[in-house]
Amino acid sequence: MQIETWLSPSAVADHERARARVSVVIDVLRATTVITTAIAAGARSVTTCLNVDDARAMKQNAAVDSIPLLCGERECRPIEGFDHGNSPSEYSPVGVGGRDLVMTTTNGTRAIEAASDCDVMFLACFANLSAVADAIIAEVTIEATLEGESKNASLGQPVQTEGLVRIVCAGTNGAITGEDVLLAGALIAVCHRKLSDTARFYDGPIDLINDSGSIALAAWQHCITHDKVTDSESLAQRLALTQGGQNLVAAGYANDIVDCGSIDIFDNVPQRDQLSPARFVDR
């Protein structure tokens, strides 16, 4: 499996890149966590857009029987006149179950736009970490149905394809942020664990095709060995030390960090089913 990692959206947007088989967008604090939470709570879909005016226009132009809820934030805070902000705790089955949502955020929805050149797009957070790893592997793995499809495969065995996986971190206002880098590294590590029978990463089946992936993996490994991150509680404490975490604390949203640090509490994966505007449903 080839994995290309970009630690900010500008790394993708400012250069010509090959089309990816799979793009995975990360905005741990908080957009991808919120969208995952909303879909787990029964939201029918989440459509993302860059501008507040575009979001309001989508609601105004919607059919009477499918008026969406407006969701999102600017500079961490709820947008005036919107139904929900960007805190995972706001997205309960009672509040969003069976509803279509339109979301715009400061960083996450821009990362989604930057990563759009792909066949399949997933949204990742710590809350669905393992489920996203499984989804990635499923997309870049085919099952040999005919003898001779692969020199190393027998009938019915999984075969790795050549599809490129691109991980795109949202960051904050164009800057790289630690929380997204940590999740990128964790996602690479989990994919390796699921695909390999060796603990030595560079002996395994994953090819990191740029240094950003190695940086993210090293950051996650350091987080485990040095910072002693072993569970959701210790992860939330570590996320609070990042720039994104500090921004949330300063804005009065420290409790959101606990929700965003929860590991593997959801098995759903938001997947894009419409390109423009990007819309996400449960995979």
Residues contacting residue 202 through CB under 8 Å, at least 6 positions apart? none
Whole-number mean pLDDT of the chain?
91
Mean pLDDT of 112-125: 96
pLDDT attached to residue 130: 98
pLDDT digits (tens, 9 = 90+) for 145-177: 434 444 444 445 555 556 899 999 999 998 999
Mean pLDDT of 19-31: 96
Please check the confidence at residue 18 and state whether its pLDDT lies above 90: no
Mean pLDDT of 119-131: 98
Mean pLDDT of 95-105: 98
Lowest-pLDDT choice from 2-16, 44-58, 61-75, 250-264: 2-16
pLDDT attached to residue 16: 64
Q: State the Cα–Cα distance between residues 88 and 80, nearest whole angstrom.
A: 18
36: pLDDT confidence band, cut at 50, 70 and 90? very high
Q: State the Cα–Cα distance between residues 281 and 46, nearest whole angstrom.
A: 7
Mean pLDDT of 182-196: 95
Lowest-pLDDT choice from 44-53, 117-126, 156-165, 273-282: 156-165
By percentage, how much of the chain surpasses pLDDT 70?
Answer: 91
Mean pLDDT of 227-248: 96
pLDDT attached to residue 146: 37
Q: State the Cα–Cα distance between residues 139 and 131, nearest whole angstrom.
A: 12
Dig out the tokens for 101 from the structure: 């949502």
pLDDT attached to residue 161: 54
Please check the confidence at residue 192 and state whether its pLDDT lies above 70: yes
Residue 151 Ramachandran class (φ > 0 left, ψ -120 to 50 alpha, else beta): alpha
Q: Which residue has the higher pLDDT, 40 or 154?
A: 40
Mean pLDDT of 99-115: 96
pLDDT attached to residue 152: 47
Q: What is the CATH number of domain 2-282?
A: 3.90.1560.10
Q: State the Cα–Cα distance between residues 107 and 173, nearest whole angstrom.
A: 7
Q: Which of 34, 98, 91, 92 is nearest to 68 (CA)?
A: 98
pLDDT attached to residue 200: 78
By percentage, how much of the chain surpasses pLDDT 90?
Answer: 83
- The secondary structure of residue 150, as a DSSP letter, is S
pLDDT attached to residue 14: 55
Size of the chain, expressed as the number of residues it contains: 283
pLDDT digits (tens, 9 = 90+) for 206-227: 999 999 999 999 999 999 999 9
Consecutive H or E run containing 121: strand 118-124
Q: Where are the beta strands (DSSP E) in 131-267?
A: 141-143, 158-160, 164-169, 207-208
Question: Which sequence spans correspond to the domains of the chain?
Answer: 2-282
Q: Give the predicted TM-score (pTM) of the model.
A: 0.92
Lowest-pLDDT choice from 5-19, 93-107, 173-187: 5-19
Q: State the Cα–Cα distance between residues 5 and 208, nearest whole angstrom.
A: 8
pLDDT attached to residue 158: 54
